[in-house]
Amino acid sequence: MSAAAELTGAHMKYLAVIYEVSCAGNTVSCAEVARRLGVTRPSVSRMLDVLNEKGMTTKERYGKIALTEEGLRVAQRVKERTAHIARLLSAGLHLNYRESMAAASAVAQTLPDRILPE
């Protein structure tokens, strides 16, 4: 079983946020991830320990956070799934962008890979 198959919705949420921050050109720090997720820095630090063990991220002590090649692949997949589901939800349920993205984020992390196209 691959490391990606062992990821929970929470793991995927953290990977997606790290990806978003890095794509915006910002340094990814525990403080920034905590702010975006509405959690404490110690919570981020504990999750990063788990993600490091799974080979998804790297983190320098008191330094920046980066996705590994595998972490990047998973994060991109989560973002693609979320966008696909958001399009379906906004069309079918007449949700605005913010509503469809919030709902899609929750759904994308729980659906099995076979449900959505590659």
Domain boundaries, the chain: 4-73, 76-110
Q: 0.85 exceeded by the pTM?
A: no
Q: Which run of H or E residues covers position 57? A: strand 57-59
Please provide the average confidence, as pLDDT, over all residues in the chain. Answer: 85
Q: Does domain 4-73 have CATH number 1.10.390.10?
A: no
How far from 46 is each of 5, 39, 55, 72, 83, CA to CA, in Å? Answer: 20, 11, 15, 20, 28
Q: Which residue, among 74, 13, 89, 20, has the nearest Cα to 44 in the 3D structure?
A: 13
Residues 40-80 have pLDDT tens digits of 999 999 999 999 999 999 987 767 899 999 999 999 988 88
Share of the chain above pLDDT 70, in %: 87
